[in-house]
């Protein structure tokens, strides 16, 4: 294994551990929401939290848009993007991809978990925001340092899918 691969592996593993702690702790501290036990009410509750989860993507799009407006890269066809703008664009692209996966996972969790577990939804949304910011900051420092933020959101999405499938098959 190369030094770069070790850096990414350690970063990815630490991101997964951080994500688990971030989901676990608030989900036990947040009280159960007072929503009716219908799929519609559960989804409405989840979608209110998805607005929180999409905020990092919006911030990334604003960062790219503002930098374009204030630079020679205002015309995106000229290829005059700075390295900072390239990184911000890649972060926004990946965050959009992760958010779509997150949206599907949260919607499935919302209608699958017992009503007493619905407080996991805000914990997931808050964790998504924190981990996407870690991804952005890490990527800006050095591309290899994006691993904790990437792995935390990717594995959180995977664990939501596995959990929903397990609940449906059990």
Are 61 and 92 in contact, with CB atoms under 8 Å apart? yes
pLDDT digits (tens, 9 = 90+) for 100-124: 999 999 999 999 999 999 999 999 9
Which residue range is the domain that position 139 belongs to? Answer: 3-169
CATH number at residue 134: 1.20.120.550
- Report the run of H or E that residue 123 belongs to, with start and end: helix 120-141
pLDDT digits (tens, 9 = 90+) for 55-68: 999 999 999 999 99
Q: Give the count of domains, the chain.
A: 1
């Amino acid at each position: 294994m190369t030094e770069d691969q070790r850096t990414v592996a350690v970063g990815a593993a630490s991101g997964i551990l951080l994500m688990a702690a971030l989901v676990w702790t608030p989900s036990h501290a947040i009280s159960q929401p007072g929503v009716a036990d219908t799929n519609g009410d559960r989804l409405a509750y989840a979608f209110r939290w998805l607005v929180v989860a999409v905020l990092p993507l919006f911030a990334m799009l604003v960062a790219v848009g503002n930098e374009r407006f204030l630079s020679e890269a205002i015309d995106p066809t000229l290829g005059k993007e700075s390295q900072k703008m390239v990184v911000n664009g890649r972060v926004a692209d990946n965050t959009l991809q992760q958010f779509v996966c997150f949206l599907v996972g949260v919607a499935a969790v919302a209608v699958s978990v017992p009503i007493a577990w619905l407080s996991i939804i805000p914990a997931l949304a808050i964790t998504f925001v924190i981990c996407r910011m870690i991804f952005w900051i890490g990527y800006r420092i050095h591309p290899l340092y994006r691993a904790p933020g990437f792995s935390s959101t990717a594995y959180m999405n995977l664990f939501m899918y596995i959990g929903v499938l397990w609940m449906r098959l059990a």
